[in-house]
Homo-oligomer: A and B are copies of this chain.
Amino acid sequence: MMQYQDISSAWAEFARVSATLNAYYHAMNVLGTDAATAAPSDSAEGRGRTMEVLSGVVYDLIADPENHKLIAYLEQHRDELNQMQNRQVQLMRKQADQLSRIPQQEYVAYSVLLNDAEGIWRKAKNNNDFASFAPTLEKIVDFNRKFAGYYNPKLPAYDALLNEYEEGLTMQTLDAFFGELRSALVPLIHAVGQKEQIDDAFLKRSYPIEQQRKFSAYLMEVMGIDPARCTIAESEHPFTAGFNNHDVRITTHYYENDVANSMYSVIHEGGHALYELGVDDAYNFTGLQGGASMSIHESQSRFYENIVGRSLAFVEGIFPKMQELFPEQLKDVTAEQMYRAVNKAEPSLIRTEADELTYSMHVMVRYELEKQLISGSLQVKDLPQAWNRMYAEYLGVEVPDDSRGCLQDSHWAGGSIGYFPSYALGSAYGAQMKAFMEQDIGSVEALVAKGELHKVTEWLAQHIHRYGQLYQPGELFERTCGKFDAKYYTDYLTEKYTELYAL
């Protein structure tokens, strides 16, 4: 057994364990990124074996009784550690407690279940066959309910799950948040529905993928993303992977007949990338690199995608380059028409394709259903009917099949229950950040119009990015933006869509 003579030898050991864990996470994340972007389709078995070995080592390192003793020793000597060190210990404590509370047998059974679930879900989605996925989803829900008790037995189960993605987030907060969104946005969506619809047919012309690739590189340049630290690849679903602030990857998916799809994927993932790239060098390889939480991460991605990327100033700024890359496709289109087309609001079926106005309603459906599934008031077998009812109620659309209904997202098959609210919360965080940012540096739209987007990024880097995981997400947000208030978000949307649709 290791004995710690003093705080400095204990800290040295802790730093060694952290750096080791970081190496394993890095390797596993590269394997995962490679799997989604470059690996042959039949390569899963070998990767599965490797992941099993590496994740087994991670489990052992964290659950090691020596590690628990080390954490306890450091907690007792809290006063001798600086803020950064204490935060590292706190995050390690959270991981160690959770892992050691889950019986290893259940942990392994759950890993095996999730390993199969992705394929079962994909098949069910392709065949529009919810029944074939239901037994798996039922088990996933049961595991999550049980794990919630391990994570934090004092909290209601769904709160414990929320806490996994956003420390401190509760149903009470979210009920109030979504309540406000509902009362502000449902009438707005209705009013927009009464107006003449925007023409966006030109977005569906043929845009050669090779040209779209050049467009992506241009967008990343406009966003100030350093290509020596962040590259782009292609995958089925766009995502961002950040290993440290010198190694970030974004992906997109090109559709020849939908130029806006990849365009806004690149800007969205680019927002995630700027966050990862903006974390202070000091946090690299410590466990504090990367973003504070999913919601704060989404606040950045959706800030760039919507508040910046869907602003008139931004669209006007990039439009000459778009016309240069797509001269035939855009010869009869103006920047103003492009701006209106990429902001067209219309209730729809698919979350990832939803416009800025109706997006949160998609998230709300998932939030309500997750709560009910975890509390047990909704059975998995009744999920499709409940889903379809809510889409009719909140979005006014009829769901034609489960593939475009409750089977559309991969999150639940991946075991992520409690993750969806981050998307809506992140959008609202972003709107509040915009308000506080503008008190400091003036109108975002005006800065973008002057070609000074970098000032926006600098403000975000200064107030959010650089801190990595030093603060709890709520604390990080409140330090800069005060108490969270959904009104910033509803006001922003109301103003934008009132003007756009001349309501």
* Nearest CB of chain B from residue A239's CB, rounded to whole Å: 14
Complex contact B243–A43 (CB within 8 A): yes
Note all chain B residues with C-beta closer than 8 A to A24.
53
Q: Answer yes or no: A23 CB below 8 A from chain B CBs.
A: yes
Contact A229:B27 (CB < 8 A) given known A19-B53, A46-B284, A285-B49: no
A23 to B284, CA, bound (A): 25
Interface centre among A40, A45, A285 (most CB of B within 10 A): A40
- Chain A 99-140 near chain B by CB (<8 Å), digits 1 or 0: 000000000000000000000000000000000000000000
Q: Is the CB of A40 within 8 A of B244?
A: no
Assess whether A39 is in contact with B247, with CB atoms less than 8 Å apart: yes
> Which of B28, B46, B47, B231 meets A39, CB within 8 Å?
B231
| B246–A46 CB distance below 8 A | yes
- Please report which residues of chain A, range 7-27, place their CB below 8 angstroms from some CB of chain B when the two chains form the complex: 19-20, 22-24, 26-27
Residues of B within 8 A of A49 (CB): 19, 22-23, 26, 285
Quote the shortest CB–CB distance from A151 to chain B (angstroms).
27
Nearest B residue (CB) for A21? B53
Contact A228 B42, beta carbon cutoff 8 Å: yes
The residue in chain B whose Cβ has the minimal distance to the Cβ of A26 is B50
Are A43 and B210 touching (Cβ within 8 A)? no
> Which of A29-37, A340-348, A410-418 makes up part of the contact surface?
A29-37
CB distance from A373 to the nearest CB of B (A): 32
Residue A376 is within 8 A (CB to CB) of chain B in the complex: no
A45 to B26, CA, bound (A): 12
CB distance from A76 to the nearest CB of B (A): 28
Q: Which of B31, B43, B228 contacts A27 (CB 8 A)?
A: B31
Alpha-carbon gap, A30 to B43, bound state (A): 12
Give chain A interface residues in 190-239, CB to chain B under 8 Å: 210, 226-231, 233
Contact sample, A vs B, 18 pairs, CB 8 Å cutoff:
A19-B49, A19-B53, A23-B52, A23-B54, A26-B47, A27-B54, A30-B30, A33-B38, A38-B233, A39-B247, A40-B231, A41-B227, A43-B246, A45-B244, A45-B246, A46-B246, A49-B285, A210-B210
Chain A interface residues toward B at CB < 8 A: 19-20, 22-24, 26-28, 30-31, 33-34, 37-43, 45-47, 49-50, 52-54, 210, 226-231, 233, 243-244, 246-249, 284-285
